[in-house]
A = this chain, B = another copy of it.
Amino acid sequence: MEVDIQLVPSPPDPDTLLDRTVVVIDVLRATSVMVQAMSQGALEIIPVATVEEAFQTAKTFPQSSLILGGERGSKKIPGFDLGNSPREYVAERVKGKKLILTTTNGTKAFHVVSSGREILVGSFFNIEVTAQRCLELNRDLLIFPSGDEGKFSLEDTICGGMLIDLIMKKGGKRIDLSDASRCAQILYKKFKDNLSEALHLSHHGKKLVNRGFVEDLGYCAQTDMTDIVPEFKAGVIRVPLTPSLSPGETVSQ
């Protein structure tokens, strides 16, 4: 099982993803929001690239079933219900709802890797169970940090490095790391005792602090808050009820 990580979020060749599991990570804050919202009972999430697309998509569903969420310049978009802070996505707001989400980096990333065999939503919140799911699927893996406006992202790569470290510990010798995966694992080990510090050190983290979202950094650095692994399929993110596994395999969620 080969484990690779794309350190810079340039679009991969779609054909190389057909037989791979892909894990999309945007710690600050899109995939943290997604995992949080689904763990609080949101029914499904439609990630869209633009604000216009969000409003257009919203027109096709009954308004009472919908939540519009996301950010531009880190801030809530005019006319939207929620911003991009996972702390906003509590059961009282999202339970039983369909969430349409648009963010600067994270929601676009899902469309860039849409040819992946499975596309999982990763974050620190569900890191252990995501590692478990990757091992159950047992396919070559591409971890896709969604980056910081097209550039390398420290916090996403550290989260990817933690995923790699867990997969190595659980998977043993059958795991084959690329140079990039080795780099991410080393980076994670450097910060593993203080993930929140790493988020404060990162370019995107500093930007969020300046814009008044300092509390999101510590919040998004929390590990293993839930045991769900949402999947992106045909444009929609859901928590699969019966993940398709080989006979005899078990699912931890």
Contacts and interface: CB of A to CB of B under 8 A. Distances in A.
5 contacts: A8-B10, A10-B10, A178-B203, A179-B204, A183-B183
Given A7-B152, A10-B10, 11 more contacts: A6-B8, A7-B8, A8-B10, A148-B179, A151-B179, A151-B180, A152-B180, A179-B203, A183-B187, A186-B186, A186-B187
Contacts of A10: 8, 10
A167 to B, nearest CB: 18
Interface in A139-178: 148, 151-154, 157, 178
Contacts of A204: 179
B179 A202 contact: yes
Contacts of A157: 183
Interface of A: 6-8, 10, 148, 151-154, 157, 178-180, 182-183, 186-187, 190, 201-204
A32 to B, nearest CB: 18
Q: How many copies does the complex hold?
A: 2
Q: Which 3 A-B pairs have the closest CB atoms?
A: A154-B179, A152-B180, A8-B8
A205 to B, nearest CB: 9
Contacts of A202: 179
Nearest to A148: B179
A178 B151 CA distance: 10
Contacts of A148: 179
A222 B182 CA distance: 23
Contact of A7 (B7, B178, B182, B190): B7
Contacts of A153: 179
Nearest to A182: B154
A105 B152 CA distance: 21
Nearest to A191: B186
B190 A186 contact: yes
A152 B10 CA distance: 12
A152 to B, nearest CB: 4
Nearest to A161: B183
Contacts of A178: 151-152, 203
A186 B184 CA distance: 11
Nearest to A5: B152
Nearest to A4: B151
A51 B10 CA distance: 29
